[in-house]
Chain A
Amino acid sequence: MSDTPSHAPVNSILPKWIRGPQDFIGGLALVAIAVFALWASSDLQGMRGFSFGAGTAPRMFAFLLLGLGVAVMLVGIVTEGAHLAKYHWRGPLFVSLAILSFAFLIRPMGLIVTAFSSFLISALGTPETKWTETIIVAVCLTAFCSLLFPYALGLPLQMLPKFMIR
C-alpha cells in the first residue's frame, strides 16, 4: 500500500486545517455509508421486549460504523497524515467496462463471444497493449476457457450466442 504520495498536491480543495486528507475523506465516506445503512434499515422492526427485531443488529452495526468513521475523520484532522492518492481513470474504467460487458453479454451471446470481447475491452486498460499479441492471447484464452469450464469442470455454461442455437 505504498501508492500514496507523501508530497502535498499543488491545489488541494481541502482546507489547510485538515492535516491528513486521506484519513479525513476515508472517515467521511464511512460516515456516509453508515448514514445510508441507517436510512435503508429504518423500515425494519426494532427491539420487541428483550428480543431483537430484524432491524436491531443492522442499526447497531451502522451506529458503530458511524462512530468509527467520525473517529477516523478526527484522526485525519488532528494528526499529520498522507495526502490523497492520485487516481487513474484508465485502468478502473476499462476493467469495469469489461466486467459490465461480460455481465450484459453472457446471457444473450454465450461464453465464446463474451470472453473474447471482455478480454479485448480490459486490454484497453493499459497503454502498453500490443494488439496483434493481445488478439492471439485472447483467442487462446477463449479456447482454453470454453474447454475448461464446461468440459473439465462440468459447469453448465452456454457456449454460442442464443440466436445461433435457438
Chain B
Amino acid sequence: MGDIFSNLGLGFGVVFQLVQWTPAFLGGVSIPIPVNILLCLIGALVGTLVGVLPGIGTIATVAMLLPITFGLPPVGALIMLAGIYYGAQYGGSTTSILVNIPGEAGSVVTALDGFQMAKQGRAGPALAIAAIGSFFAGCVATVLIALLGAPLTKIALAFGPAEYFSLMVLGLIFAVVLAKGSVLKAIAMIVFGLLLSMVGSDIETGASRMAFNIPELADGLGFATVAMGLFGFAEIIRNLDAGGETDRQLVQQKVTGLMPTKKDLIASAPAIGRGTVLGSMLGILPGGGATIASFAAYTMEKKLSKTPSRFGRGAIEGVAAPESANNAAAQTSFIPLLTLGIPPNAVMALMVGAMTIHGIVPGPQVMQKQPDLVWGMIASMWVGNLMLLIINLPMVGIWVRLLRVPYRLMFPSIVVFCSIGIYSVNNAPTDVMLAGAFGLVGYWLIKHDFEPAPLLLGMVLGPLMEENLRRALLISRGDWSVFLTRPLSALLMAIAAALLVLAVLPSLRKKRDEVFVESEN
C-alpha cells in the first residue's frame, strides 16, 4: 500500500514539476513554469478541438496530432499525448450530443440519448453529465492503474517468450471477438497488419525483407505514416463520398442551463457507478477498449432500467453510463500497455508508436527503469480529466461554433496539416506518398467492410510476436509444443481458443451483434 502512495507521489511530482524559465526580456528574472501541466492542458484542448470536428474519430485525432509531440522530451510528449487522447474522446461525445454525428464508434451510443436531450433543449445537462461521469470514471481508473500496475509488472517479468507470444495471441483474439463486424475479416486484417510489419530489415540477420531496395523502406513502414494514411486520409476521402454537408442537424437552440438538476444527478449517479465498473473491467482486457465498453454499458443500463422505453428518447442515464464506461476503459487500457508492453487497442498501438519514436520500448522494464515516465503519465491522467472538466464546460460555446465550420473548408486543411505532420517525422517526401497510398488502401478497406483498426494492432504487434516466437522456439530447440506444455502459456492459449470458438458459435454471435445493433434502430 505504501508503495502505491509513494509511486503516485512520484507521479504527481513529475506532473507538477516546475521548470525555471529565464526570458531575456525580463533581464535575468526567472519564472517557474509547470511545463507538464501546461502540456497536459494543451493536449486536452487541442485533442478536444480536433476531436470535435465531425467525422474525425479518436484514432485519427491521435494519429494526426502525433507529430506535434515529437519535439518534446519523452515524459512531456507522453503526457501531452494522453491529454490529446482524453480530449479527443470528450470531443467525440460533444459532437454526438450536439450534432448527432458520432466521431467514432465509441460515442455512437451517446448520440442515441444525448442528441434527443439536446433536441429537447437539455444539451447543457447532457454535456455536463458526460463530463462529470467521465471525471468520476477517470478518478477510479487512475487509482486502479496505480493499484494494479506494480503487481502486474511483477507477473510480466516472470513471463518467458512462450508466455509473451501466447499472451499476444490472446490479445489479438480478444480484439477480434470484441470488435464489430465479421470475425473472419477482422482476423484477416490482423494478419495483413502482421505481414506489413515484416517489411524492413530482419532483427536478427539484418537481411532486407520485402523492401525492394527502396531506401525509405529499409527501416520498415513507418507506423505514424500508416496510421495517418489509414485513419486520416482514408476518412477524408470517405467523408467526401458521403457528401460533407448532407446530414448536419446541428442543434440550433442556444445551449443554456449547463447544470444538471438534482433529479438528473440522482438518476445518473448509479449509472455512472455501473458504467465505471464495467468500463474499467472491459478496458483491462486485451482487445477491449472504449467502444465495447460504451455499448455494453448502454445495454446494461437499458436492461436494468424500470422504464426501458425512455431510452432513445433522452434518458440521462443513457448518456451517463456509456460516457463513464468509455472513459474508464480508455484509461484502464493503459494497464496492459504499461505493465506488459502490449497495446490492447489501436489507440494504445499509436502510443507504442510514439514511445518507440522517443526510444522507449514499452514493457515491464520501463516501469522499473523509468518510473518517473510511467507514474508521471498515470498522475497526468487524473490531472487531464480534471482539466477536461474545468475547461470544457465553459468552452461548450466555442465547440458549438467549431461544429459549424463547413466540411469543404475543413478537409483541405486536414490534408495539408497531415502532410506536414508526416513529412516532419523524417523529413522524407516518400513518407507522405506512402501515407497517401495507405489512404487509398484504407478507403478500399472501408468500401469492402474491413476494419482498419485490427490492421494497425497487428502491425504494432508483428515484430514483438516474431521476436518472441523465434526465441521461444530457439529455447525449446524447435519444439512447437512449448506453447502448450508451459502451464501459463497453455492457459492463455486455451482461453484464446475458447474465445474464438465462442465467437463463431451462432448463439453468442447473435448476442454480440445485438449489442452493436442497438445503435442502429
Those of A104-137 within 8 Å (CB) of chain B: 104, 106-107, 111, 115, 118-120, 122-123, 125-126, 128-130, 133-134, 137
- In the complex, the answer to whether B205 meets A53 with C-beta atoms within 8 Å is yes
- In the complex, the answer to whether A61 meets B184 with C-beta atoms within 8 Å is no
Q: Which residue of A lies closest to B425 (CB)?
A: A155
Name B240's contact: one of A22, A51, A65, A88 (CB within 8 Å): A88
- Tell me if A161 counts as interface (CB < 8 A to partner B): no
Contacts A57-B466, A68-B191, A100-B436; is A137 near B447 (CB within 8 Å)?
no
Name B436's contact: one of A54, A57, A91, A96 (CB within 8 Å): A96
Q: Which residue of A lies closest to B474 (CB)?
A: A51
- Tell me if B311 counts as interface (CB < 8 A to partner A): no
By the criterion of a CB under 8 Å from any partner CB, how many residues of chain B are at the interface? 70
Q: Which residues of A contact B267 (CB under 8 A)?
A: none
Most chain B CB inside 10 Å of its own CB: which residue of A29, A68, A71: A68
Q: In whole angstroms, what is the CA distance A141 to B414 when docked?
A: 10
Those of A78-96 within 8 Å (CB) of chain B: 82, 84-85, 87-88, 90-92, 95-96
Name A4's contact: one of B68, B237, B413, B447 (CB within 8 Å): B447
- In the complex, the answer to whether B188 meets A102 with C-beta atoms within 8 Å is no
- Tell me if B381 counts as interface (CB < 8 A to partner A): no
Q: Which residues of A contact B210 (CB under 8 A)?
A: 37, 40-41, 58
Those of B72-98 within 8 Å (CB) of chain A: none
Contacts A40-B210, A157-B424; is A96 near B440 (CB within 8 Å)?
yes
Q: In whole angstroms, what is the CA distance A125 to B240 when docked?
A: 8
* Shortest CB distance A30–B (Å): 6
- Tell me if A15 counts as interface (CB < 8 A to partner B): no
- In the complex, the answer to whether B71 meets A3 with C-beta atoms within 8 Å is no
- In the complex, the answer to whether A50 meets B478 with C-beta atoms within 8 Å is yes
Q: In whole angstroms, what is the CA distance A34 to B194 when docked?
A: 12
- Tell me if B41 counts as interface (CB < 8 A to partner A): no
- In the complex, the answer to whether B413 meets A99 with C-beta atoms within 8 Å is no
Q: Which residues of B contact A50 (CB under 8 A)?
A: 473-474, 477-479
B residues in contact (CB < 8 Å) with A: 67-68, 70-71, 181-182, 184-185, 187-188, 191-192, 194-195, 198, 202, 204-205, 207, 209-210, 212, 233, 236-238, 240-242, 244-245, 406-409, 411-413, 415-417, 419-420, 423-424, 427, 429-430, 432-433, 435-436, 439-440, 443-444, 446-450, 462, 466, 469-470, 473-474, 477-479
* A-B contacts besides A51-B478, A91-B236, A92-B440, 12 pairs, CB < 8 Å: A27-B188, A40-B212, A51-B474, A61-B195, A72-B185, A85-B447, A87-B447, A95-B236, A141-B417, A155-B71, A155-B424, A157-B424
